Structure 1
Amino acid sequence: MTLPTAFAETTRFSTSHAEMRIRMLNLYRRYIRHSREFVNNYDLDIPTSEVKTKIRQEFEKHRHVNDLAVQNVMYMKGQMEFQELVNFWKQKCHVMKYFENFDYYDKAAKNSFVQRFLKGAD
């Protein structure tokens, strides 16, 4: 069982880009370390490697943001998201929204029983 406050972090703003970089890297590492736990807790049909790839993509998407105030807000949102995932405060459908455009998930959905049934396949 996870204590809700185990991964809580007090709100504080980074005053330099170097400090923010260290905090972001630590947050990224926490996400990666818990990726297998996310797959198990939410019973995802996605391999852990795909989850790690998606985590990497989400961090890379915002890599070139240079405004420190924006970086601080993004860090806080990332930290809140992490705490919600780890404490199992989300439902599977909320987690799966991140994987809507993934090839692995799309292929599995196209070959599902319901999709074949709707097409009239045997």
Structure 2
Amino acid sequence: MTLATAFAETTRRSVTDAELRSRTLSLYRKYIRHAPDFVNMYTLHVPTSVVRAKIRHQFERQRYIEDLGVKNIAYMKGQMEFQETINFWKQKAHIMVYFKDTEDFGYPHDDGFVTKFLRGKD
């Protein structure tokens, strides 16, 4: 059982790129370390390796931001996202949004009316 404040972090701005880089790498390591926990907590039908790859992809999307203020905001959002995920404040649907473009792992393929409707196909 995790305390709600165990992963809380005081909101603060990084003044230099080096400081923010250090904090971001630390956050990245926390995400990677807890990937198996995410799979178990949310009973995801996705291998841990795919979860780690998706985490890496999400961090890489932010890699080329130039403005330090925008980088700080992206870091704070990432930290809040981590705390909400690890404290089980999300539902499985919130987590599975990240995997909507990956293949279905272990689910039977149902091409019925409802499935086609939800996918926006005829």
* Percent of matched pairs sharing the same residue: 56
Give 1:16 shift. Answer: 0.2
Q: Please provide the CA RMSD for this pair.
A: 1.4
Give 1:108 shift. Answer: 4.8
Per the alignment, residue 58 of structure 1 pairs with 58
State the Cα deviation string for residues 33-61 of structure 1 (Å, max 9, x = none). 00000000000000000000000000001
By percentage of residues, which structure has more helix?
1
Per the alignment, residue 90 of structure 1 pairs with 90
User: Residues of 1 paired with 2:62 and 2:75: CA distance?
Assistant: 11
Gaps in structure 1 of 5+ consecutive residues: none
Per the alignment, residue 119 of structure 2 pairs with none
User: Residues of 2 paired with 1:4 and 1:43: CA distance?
Assistant: 20
User: Residues of 2 paired with 1:66 and 1:19: CA distance?
Assistant: 15
TM-score, with length taken from structure 2: 0.88
Q: Which runs of 4+ in 1 moved over 4 A?
A: none
Count the aligned residue pairs: 113
TM-score, with length taken from structure 1: 0.88
Counterpart residue identity of residue 83, structure 1:
Q
Within a 5 Å distance, the mapping from 1:66-105 to structure 2 comes to: 66-102=66-102, 104-105=103-104
Gaps in structure 2 of 5+ consecutive residues: 114-122
